């Protein structure tokens, strides 16, 4: 019997991307709700109960509502793409490459919290160095990032693309989260193994999708006064060769004149770079990913595949 998959919120940006990625799959039975019935609570509850895996592509409150709808149903497995459960210890964190055994934990879990796009890059750079003993857990981390505007969902896509929109955004690039209280902070702190929250400065560029996440470091404040090669080696040892996360060789990164945030668009991969000049005391760690790929819909599909393999 084919696994039944229900995307709760399939008409939003993330849901549509997941639906597109699964289109034509004859090994899955895709359950659906017409867009006109998307607010029909009883129909949603039926689909949630019927599904083997439900992928929640909803705001936090909508995701919590869907979980409540399951009630005593102990069979439907859930992937939540909202921020509602990303630091919930009862949920597996859906970044399969994050650590040894994480893919297996996802495969066995009933509840999986899909990571945020910014945290995927930030955690991907920070956690390996904390585990290796190079980066102190209380280091004053700064995370700077730029995302394509699709990360803001349908509302921001309309604001950026429609000149006649009442809240049209004409800027080529803008900062937001200026209060430094972004909702991704607890996620980056928890899964980055940090004891203090990072300073996080997100921004949006006038491109549809793609992302760069930067973590600059003062090397002299790290444990053991490591060289850039030591930092790179710790990242490479953590992720190994192959897979969705690639640690780019130092010499390849050093030869790059610039980094394009759209480089990995329409893929489920992430590239990690270590930049700096030996003896100068600074390093800049950079993650490049598609905010709709490894940062959202692609990660959800990857987690679904792991859960099906471990069912």
Q: Which residues are catalytic?
A: 117
Sign of the CA dihedral with 47 first, then 53, 56, and 57 last: negative
CB 283 within 8 A of CB 217: yes
Q: What 8-state DSSP symbol labels residue 149?
A: G
* Burial environment of residue 34 by CB neighbours within 10 A (0 to 12, 13 to 18, 19 or more): exposed
Cα of first residue to Cα of last residue in the chain, in angstroms, is: 13
Instruction: Judge contact between 194 and 188, C-beta under 8 A.
Output: yes
Cα–Cα distance, 193 to 40 (Å, whole number): 41
Per DSSP (E only), the strands in 137-264 are 142-148, 173-175, 199-205, 211-218, 245-247
**Per the structure block, which two tokens stand in for 21?**
């990625």
Residues whose CB falls within 8 Å of the CB of residue 266, separated by 6 or more in sequence, listed in order: 290, 293
Q: Where are the alpha helices (H) located in 147-265, listed in sequence order?
A: 153-161, 185-191, 228-239, 250-254
Return d(Cα 192, Cα 277) in angstroms, integer: 25
Cα angle value 264/151/153 (rounded, 5°): 135
């Amino acid at each position: 019997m084919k696994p039944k998959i229900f995307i709760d919120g399939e008409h939003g940006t993330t849901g549509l991307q997941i639906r597109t990625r699964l289109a034509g799959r004859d090994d899955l039975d895709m359950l659906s709700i017409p867009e006109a019935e998307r607010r029909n609570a009883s129909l949603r509850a039926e689909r949630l109960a019927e599904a083997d895996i439900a992928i929640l592509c909803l705001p936090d409150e909508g995701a919590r509502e869907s979980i409540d709808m399951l009630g005593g149903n102990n069979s439907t497995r859930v992937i939540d793409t909202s921020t509602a459960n990303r630091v919930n210890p009862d949920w597996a964190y859906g970044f399969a490459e994050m650590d040894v055994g994480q893919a297996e934990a996802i495969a066995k879990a009933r509840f999986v919290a899909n990571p945020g796009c910014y945290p995927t890059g930030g955690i991907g750079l920070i956690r390996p160095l904390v585990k290796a003993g190079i980066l102190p857990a209380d280091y004053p981390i700064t995370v700077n990032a730029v995302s394509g505007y699709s990360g803001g969902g349908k509302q921001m896509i309309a604001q950026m693309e429609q000149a006649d929109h009442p809240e049209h955004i004409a800027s080529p690039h803008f900062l937001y989260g200026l209060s430094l209280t972004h909702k991704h902070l607890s996620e980056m702190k928890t899964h980055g193994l940090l004891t203090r929250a990072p300073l996080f400065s997100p921004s949006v560029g006038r491109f549809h999708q793609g992302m760069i996440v930067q973590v600059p470091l003062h090397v002299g404040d790290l444990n053991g006064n490591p060289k850039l090669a030591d930092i790179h080696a710790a990242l490479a040892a953590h992720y190994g060769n192959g897979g969705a996360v690639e640690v780019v060789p130092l010499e390849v990164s050093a030869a790059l004149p610039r980094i394009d945030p759209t480089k990995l668009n329409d893929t489920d991969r992430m590239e990690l770079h270590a930049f700096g000049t030996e003896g100068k005391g600074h390093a800049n760690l950079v993650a490049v990913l598609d905010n709709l790929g490894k940062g959202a819909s692609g990660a959800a599909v990857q987690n679904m595949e792991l859960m099906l393999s471990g069912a």
